Structures are given as C-alpha cells and as structure tokens.
Amino acid sequence: MGDQKPHICPRTRPEVIKFMKQLIKRIFNKDARQEKTNGSPTPEKTPYEIIGGESGTRALANRFYDIMASDPYAKPLYDMHPQPLDRIRQVFFEFLSGWLGGPDLFVGQYGHPRLRQRHMPFPIDQSLRDQWMHCMNKALDMEIDNPLLREGLRQSLSQLASHMINQD
C-alpha cells in the first residue's frame, strides 16, 4: 500500500473546458445566475446547488479529510495538519461553500481567502500537492455524481493545488 500511485486526472475534454468556463462565470458573477428566457428570469443552478447544497458540500469536505486520514499515500500531508481535524474540516467546508457558488461562509468569517498567502507558512512541494489532489480526486469520485461537474472541479482544484506550491 505504501507504493500506491496518486489518482491521475484524465485528459481535459473540450466539453469539460466549456463547462468549467461557464461554471467559473457563475461562481464569480453571482448576478449572472439568472438568464432571460422569453422575458422571464430562469435561475441557473450553481455547483453548490448541483452537489446538494450544504449537505453535499459538507460531505465532500469530510470525505476529503477521511481519505487523507486513512490513505497511507497521504500520510505526509495528514501529518502536517493540526489534530483533531474538526476545525479544519469546518473551515474547508466554509471555503468550499463560497467557492462552489453557495453562501460565502469563509469570507464572512475570515475575509478574502488569499489561499496562497494563508498557506505560505507550510512547506508545500509537488509531492504534497499530488497527495492533496489524490485525496480530492477520490473524494470527488465518491461524492460528485455529475460527470461534467466532477471533471470540471477536478481541473479547477488541480490548478488551485498547483498554485499552493511554495517549495522546490
């Protein structure tokens, strides 16, 4: 089990790229959630809503940390987190809530995420980034039913994880 390889992202398909562009627009432009169709507004679902709102988002955050705590491949990543994980699970849920287009719980509590700045005190290299993505990929596979959303989130989170690298 110690030689377990990380879960590798599949190749980006054009429909995933198109979906993610729309997803990002919806997340970061909450006013764009309503489109006019025959003169009446039609609300679009956010990723937060698609995965089940608060319960789906919390399930994703908890699954991620459950995998991190139990997968030997992610032991170095797990070991750098303060124990118990209860508080960090909650903070991650709050971040995901806003990031997925739901309530901006993290921003309301802590201000702008500034993720790279917040993670600078922790030495994050390619190996830790890959461990993080390994756990997240497994969590996405287990918790997100919509294949386009799952792949789109995988791509976006992969870019986000790469942005956290601060060590060679």
Domains defined for the chain, CATH in brackets:
14-163 (1.10.490.10)
44 vs 86: CA distance, rounded Å? 33
What is the pTM for the complete model shown?
A: 0.77
Residue pLDDT, tens place only, 44-57: 789 999 999 999 99
State the helix-helix crossing angle for 147-163 and 14-28, rounded to 10 degrees: 70
Whether the CB-CB separation of 77 and 85 falls below 8 Å is answered with no
Per the prediction, the chain carries an average pLDDT of 83
